[in-house]
Structure 1
Amino acid sequence: MSNAPHFDIDVASFWTDPYPALARMRKEAPIAFVPQLGSTVFTRRDDIFSQEKRIDVFSSHQPAGLMNTLMGHNMMRKDGEAHMAERAAMFPSVSPRTVRDTWSRQFQAHADRILDELAPAGRADLCKAFALPLSAECLKDVTGLTNMRFADMDAWSQAMIDGIANYTGNKQVEARCHAATAGIDAAIDDMIPMVTRHPNTSILSVLLAAGMPMSSIRANIKLAISGGQNEPRDAIAGTVWALLTHPEQLALVREGKGEGKGDGKPTWLDVFEEYARWIAPIGMSPRRVAKHWSYGGVDFEPDDRVFFMFGSANRDEACFANPDDFDVTRDTRKSIAFGAGPHYCAGAFASRAMVADVALPSVFARLKGLRLDESEPVRIGGWAFRGLLNLPVRWDVS
């Protein structure tokens, strides 16, 4: 175990709002052992930015880790050449060109269809009625599992997310995760003959064409589902909520015609990037210490567990002025919401397109007078993965 100073947290309070405790850690113990999490956590942005790249020390390869044991050995839990080989095999399905030429058009078609059905209602929980089905329908296309129901895509993604964040060992959470992975395996088996006969740009199709072992294909599709559903879903709902609770920021983006990145004329992409900084959907990335190492006055021992707290890094006072404020004119280039090293999110281009190019402009264009439904409070939670649990809204129906 590392000799990092101990920092105790209340787990329930940390799930509800981790930012006060993270701010204290950044100030008092930026590298600290948190007994309740059984891990040494990094909380400052520059420490995480530099050390995440040290894969010789802070390894993603975690044979006994929850992701490996529950979902299979995917590229996120590999380093070096093994990681890059699988990342390269997947790249044709999520490259900027594929997103531009194929997925963006399909994403927009899904958004238009969902909003056509939703608009006459005048009120909804936008998490369940828009963010969830849009993210799931888009992910069905990208993964190639178009035989799934969007509700299953979301439920199975959440079950895996809960499973790999189940550091307290809850058996019911583990059982739901196993049921989800079994369902995904069955969906993969069902689609293999179709994409073999009719190849496309989906992850399943390109990985089969690359000759990747079936166990790795299954593991990497589960990886894509675990992150590719809940993160865009939470970002869509969360960003809409952030704009509705900061109307002056919404006015800026509606008026903005600039290039973005801090020019005072924000784009929808600036809005998305700022939300992902302010409330990072992926709040943490785990690592295993591979060798003896000293950094920041802390000695690390092999097999220590380390958490890089992206949610804390993105509110680091040393890098962002007034970091607790949601400010769409902010220069977010120091944000590490998508990671910083070789494990930078492979789906980042698709996520930006889904949220910034399609979801946000479509929602605010189609749902006139969009506003929070004050009859029900908005709930938000999580620290390893953080997002809205509901988003009750109303809009004008002509």
Structure 2
Amino acid sequence: MTAAREAPVSEWVTIPDMYRDPFPIFQRMRAEAAVHWVPSVNRYMVVTYDECHTAEMDGETFSADETGSLMKRSMGHSMLRKDDPEHAPERAAWQPPLRPGAIKTVWREVFEANTERYLDRLADAGDAADLIWDFAAPLAAENLRSILGFVNATQEDLQRWSQTMIDATGNYADDPVVWEKGRRSSEEVDRAIDELLPYYAAHPDASLISGLVNMPGGERLPIEAIRANLKMTIGGGLNEPRDVIGTAAWALLENPDQLGRVLQDPALWPVAFDEAIRWIAPIGMYPRETTRDVELGGVRLPAGSRLGIVVLSANRDERVFEYAERFDIAREKKPHLAFGGGAHYCAGAWVAKSSVAQVALPRLFERFEGLEIDGDRETSAGGWVFRGMLKLPVTWQRERKGAAA
């Protein structure tokens, strides 16, 4: 048996380089070790599939309740930074409007209407159309606004709140400007929530905030938990579907043979969705902290070690996914880690699958015949804690109004 070793110190890994293109960096890290100490982010980064999965499934050893958490500072102490049993009641309170039954009976119709609205906006942009900012971002924000029940806010408010608080959650560079923008958004969200609690006590509906106000038995989560968890949901619940729409559309447009297969067989839309989030996981890294001395991937980790679980890297682990750097809807089906796992498996997974794979992507390609990337304008992606398209300019040959099924 090989003795465990100290983690390699990867001083060559920088935040700007990871933001631009993390994949060559992660490929080199995976080849050298499963776990690295990275001074630029002041934590161990876990970059291989098996070790990321191990950490996610062992909550007793790899705690979500990280000391000095950036998310706690940005958004408050949400369920995402709690372990069971504290995590369980908050998760249970969040589930009813996010379950498949509620999506089918309430939210699918909302997703369809919102999708048509923002396809109109994309069409109106004409030669200046950007798939992210004219369609994916406002659509994701409007869908989330509806589910949460923020009747006193706009989708533009949710976009601003989400981005500034997410930026603070990933502020490993400790930029004071980023912290200040996040703080202002956090306070705006608190004020909006405070207005809505009495409103939904008098006007209950199917929204999440209404459900939190009108819980069975008259019980209610503490206001601090409501605020923190709603901020967490605004962050991931907006950025993830926005970035999946952008990533999946980009991948399909860059691989016209695969796009052709999906257009011929609409049953492949969920497959394309799953491959897109494997290929570029929207949430690239999340933290954990060891509760005891432990060995992970042959590396010794003392109790209290701060970890980054890098699913953006794990989902491209060559040991698990053949030709992992390729987008390929025909690849052998294997479980990816984009939705996490264990107790913290993404609560919004069914919402994302319905709103993106069943509605947004099919309707987009039905509406715009000959949709393609505009090669005369810049296309770009960015991020490593959260990664998605920054610019995706598009053109099309013909618009097919009323093409929706």
Moved more, 59-68 or 75-84: 59-68
Mapping of residues 34-183 of structure 1, within 5 Å = 34-123=38-127, 124-183=129-188
Q: Structure 2-normalised TM-score?
A: 0.93
The 1-side partners of 2:122 and 2:280 are apart by 27
Moved more, 345-354 or 182-191: 182-191
- Shift in Å at residue 120 of structure 1? 4.8
Correspondence for 1:302: 303
The 2-side partners of 1:276 and 1:179 are apart by 31
Q: Number of matched residues?
A: 389
- Shift in Å at residue 188 of structure 1? 1.1
The 2-side partners of 1:371 and 1:53 are apart by 41
1:4 to 4, 7, 10: 7
Percentage of matched positions with identical amino acids: 40
Mapping of residues 1-398 of structure 1, within 5 Å = 3-8=6-11, 9-123=13-127, 124-210=129-215, 211-256=220-265, 267-397=268-398
Distance 1:358 1:296, change over 3 A: same
The 2-side partners of 1:319 and 1:219 are apart by 36
CA contact (8 A) 1:122 1:395 kept: no
The 1-side partners of 2:86 and 2:38 are apart by 31
CA contact (8 A) 1:72 1:215 kept: yes
The 2-side partners of 1:309 and 1:138 are apart by 28
The 1-side partners of 2:109 and 2:200 are apart by 20
Cα-Cα RMSD: 1.5
Amino acid at match of 1:304: S
Q: Please list the CA deviations of residues 338-386 of structure 1 after superposition, one character each: whole Å capped at 9, or x if unmatched.
A: 0022111000000111110111001001112211111111111111100
CA contact (8 A) 2:258 2:329 kept: yes
Amino acid at match of 1:99: I
Distance 1:208 1:369, change over 3 A: same
The 1-side partners of 2:68 and 2:266 are apart by 50
Please, which runs of 5 or more residues in structure 1 have no aligned partner?
259-266
The 2-side partners of 1:323 and 1:295 are apart by 23
Q: Structure 1-normalised TM-score?
A: 0.94
Q: Please list the CA deviations of residues 129-159 of structure 1 after superposition, one character each: whole Å capped at 9, or x if unmatched.
A: 0001100000001111122111111111010
Moved more, 91-100 or 292-301: 292-301
SS in 1 for 2:308: strand
